[in-house]
Amino acid sequence: MTRRLLLLRHAEAAGPPGGDFSEQADLARALTAEGRMAASRCGAWLRANALAPDLVLCSPARRTRETLAALEPFQPPPVLPTRFCPDIYEAPPSALLACIRQASVEARTLLLVGHNPGISALARWLDSQADALEAGFATASLAVFHMWGSESAEEDTGWAQCDATSLTLDTFARP
């Protein structure tokens, strides 16, 4: 079975309350009504495309957790294993890649829910030839990558080997 990496930028969030730009206030930002609807559309799109993750890596920020919660109706029981990783918040591509490389080899489809500019930069680094990524990631954008060689050599193509030579973009969408 093919290994897939799903990169999802959180859905639209409200601005900081009262102009408070502290990290604590930023982590507490909630999704807007439009953001909740967009995240639900992402869940429906994942279901329609048979892309149920085996493992979720999610930033601990409220807007990423709410985005993930809005996706959950697409999941068949039981609830997906989820790791909330502080290293995903405000992370550069190298930190996101480090989180991905630590994922269990048993996870065939991995979903990372995070933030820009890290998500967009990581996607462009993973497949620099993908024209669809040139515009960057709007909120609730989703990139689906396929890992080369993962159909036949499971033991040799775990997430620890994830890099720009092992993944290629299959789909880029904003459902």
pLDDT of the chain along its 175 residues, tens only? 689 999 999 999 999 888 888 999 999 999 999 999 999 999 999 999 999 899 999 999 999 999 999 987 655 545 668 899 999 999 999 999 999 999 998 899 999 999 999 999 999 999 988 888 888 889 999 999 999 765 555 556 789 988 888 899 999 999 8
Residue 156: per-residue pLDDT: 60
Please report where in the chains the tokens 């930023």 appear, as a residue. 26
The pTM (predicted TM-score) of the whole model is 0.91
Q: Does the CA dihedral 132-133-139-141 come out positive or negative?
A: positive
Q: What is the pLDDT of residue 74?
A: 58
Domains in the chain: ranges and CATH: 4-173 (3.40.50.1240)
The phi and psi torsions of 38 (rounded to 5 degrees) equal -65, -40
| Closest by CA position to 58, among listed 98, 113, 8 | 113
At 173, which helix (H) or strand (E)?
strand 167-173
Position 116 scores a pLDDT of: 94
Give yes or no for a contact between 5 and 162, defined as CB atoms under 8 angstroms apart.
yes
CA distance 12 to 14: 7
pLDDT of residue 134: 85
